[in-house]
Amino acid sequence: MSGILARYELLLPLNKRTPRLDLGEGGTPLLPLSKTGETLGIELFGKFEGMNPTGSFKDRGMVLAVSKALEEGARSVICASTGNTSASAAAYSARAGVPCYVLLPAGKVALGKLAQAVIHGAKVIAIKGDFDRALELAREIASEKKMAIVNSVNRYRLWGQRSGAWEVCDELGGFPDAVVLPVGNAGNITAWWAGFVQYARLKKGTKVPSMFGVQAAGAAPLALDSPCSYPETVATAIRIGKPVNGKRARWAVRMSGGRFIAVSDEEILKAQKLLASREGVFAEPASCAGIAGLFKLAAEGSLHPGLRVVAVLTGSGLKDPNVVLERIGHPVEVEANREALMEVMEA
């Protein structure tokens, strides 16, 4: 087993005192999405982060954040979460043998993600408020109690998440033309941009990708350039109204020549079904916002033919299966005989 601390030791802020936590994170597949790319007129790849240990990209940053917390003497960690951060923080805290405290917005977290945090032994507390309020409280408590906060306000979280960009460059043998990511708290798009810039300096390259950040229309403070006090979307992982990394994300997008895009829940769910049924990749709704964003760019005539594009698919569809089950209903039931079975199969 070899995670990102071993694989990218020279690019990460590690020293002899840094514990080397490892759950085998990173090394996720870069999948050609040929059918979807052909429809869009581009060369499209999906970086499927759902193959990380807890099923999302959060593991890349969490392994470094918790390792550095241990190095600095922290005896517990805390986070606010829409789901994926809690699962990752709980897993790496369990690995490290330290307590983990999780603040969640009540009734707003997918059950699959909640189950992960609970089974890993985290103390999970649901608050009567949204994610933004949960994060405010987590930051206050972390400061008062000298706990390590492992949200994306933690610089090590974002540094670890740069590794996704490095892997893409290593696998492609250079930079893609563009990268599209879902945006919630805006840490990941910031991290990927920093990763590409760091890689360019290392390899003495100059052309880094254009960064496109996609938000759900019901939670799109960056895409719509307007405050969002009551974020709402089926894509729970990006249901965030006040992204703490918004300023840096705007800088990354502007400097790269990209833009932010807002897509509807309907467009997100359509992209999820397309990706699963045509490419064999089951990603959670937030992950599919990026694919929906590409279709929107294509419809506008803003997607130049032949571009090499990477869509970052941030989490597994198994994180939030209820979204799918609510749409498709239950399987058809038939009598246990060939005639009844063939009647349904041939319908």
pLDDT in tens, 264-278: 999 999 999 999 999
Verify that 144 and 168 share a domain, yes or no: no
Q: How far apart are CA 228 and CA 53, in angstroms?
A: 32
> Is the per-residue pLDDT at 1 higher than 70?
no
- Cα 69 off chain centre by: 22
Verify that 62 and 52 share a domain, yes or no: no
Higher-pLDDT residue of 229 and 181 is 181
Q: Could you tell me if 165 and 86 are in contact, meaning their C-beta atoms sit under 8 angstroms apart?
A: no
Verify that 123 and 147 share a domain, yes or no: yes
Read off the pLDDT band of 320 (50, 70, 90).
confident
Q: How far apart are CA 332 and CA 340, in angstroms?
A: 11
Verify that 209 and 289 share a domain, yes or no: yes
Verify that 18 and 128 share a domain, yes or no: no
Read off the pLDDT band of 98 (50, 70, 90).
very high
User: Is 197 part of any domain?
Assistant: yes
What integer is the mean pLDDT of 31-41? 98
User: Is 331 part of any domain?
Assistant: no
Q: How far apart are CA 113 and CA 284, in angstroms?
A: 11
Q: What angle do CA 179, 134, 73 make, to 5 degrees?
A: 85
Among 67, 68, 51, which residue's Cα sits nearest to residue 164?
A: 51
User: Is 234 part of any domain?
Assistant: yes
Verify that 178 and 88 share a domain, yes or no: no
> Is the per-residue pLDDT at 208 higher than 70?
yes
CB atoms within 10 A of CB 105: 24
Q: How far apart are CA 4 and CA 314, in angstroms?
A: 17
- Which amino acid belongs to residue 180? V
What integer is the mean pLDDT of 327-343? 88
pLDDT of residue 241: 92
Of 103-112, 160-169, 338-347, the poorest mean pLDDT is in: 103-112
User: Is 235 part of any domain?
Assistant: yes
User: Is 179 part of any domain?
Assistant: yes
User: Is 340 part of any domain?
Assistant: no
What integer is the mean pLDDT of 186-213? 92
User: Is 320 part of any domain?
Assistant: yes
CB atoms within 10 A of CB 297: 22
Verify that 181 and 308 share a domain, yes or no: yes
Verify that 223 and 184 share a domain, yes or no: yes
Q: Could you tell me if 93 and 103 are in contact, meaning their C-beta atoms sit under 8 angstroms apart?
A: no
Task: Look at the pTM and tell me if it is higher than 0.85.
Answer: yes
Read off the pLDDT band of 284 (50, 70, 90).
very high
User: Is 73 part of any domain?
Assistant: yes
Strand (E) or helix (H) holding 32: strand 30-32
Give percent above pLDDT 70 in the chain: 99
Verify that 23 and 103 share a domain, yes or no: no
Phi-psi region of 240 (alpha: psi -120 to 50; beta: other; left: phi over 0): beta
- The half-sphere exposure of 56 on its side-chain side, counting CA atoms within 13 A, is 28
Verify that 289 and 315 share a domain, yes or no: yes
Verify that 220 and 288 share a domain, yes or no: yes
- Dihedral pair phi/psi, residue 72, rounded to 5°: -85, 5
SS3 for 108? Answer: coil
At which of 128, 153, 178 does a domain end? 153
> Residue 289: which domain range?
4-56+157-326
- Dihedral pair phi/psi, residue 168, rounded to 5°: -60, -45
Give percent above pLDDT 90 in the chain: 86
Q: Domain containing 122 — which CATH number?
A: 3.40.50.1100
> Is the per-residue pLDDT at 342 higher than 60?
yes
Q: Could you tell me if 215 and 323 are in contact, meaning their C-beta atoms sit under 8 angstroms apart?
A: no
Helix axes 187-203, 246-256, angle to 10 degrees: 50
Verify that 130 and 256 share a domain, yes or no: no
Domains held by the chain: number: 2
| 3-state per-residue secondary structure call for 232-269 | CCCCHHHCCCCCCCHHHHHHHHHHHCCEEEEECHHHHH
The first and second tokens of residue 16, run together, are 């002899």
At which of 116, 134, 153 does a domain end? 153
pLDDT of residue 207: 83
Read off the pLDDT band of 313 (50, 70, 90).
very high
What integer is the mean pLDDT of 209-234? 95
Q: How far apart are CA 47 and CA 27, in angstroms?
A: 10
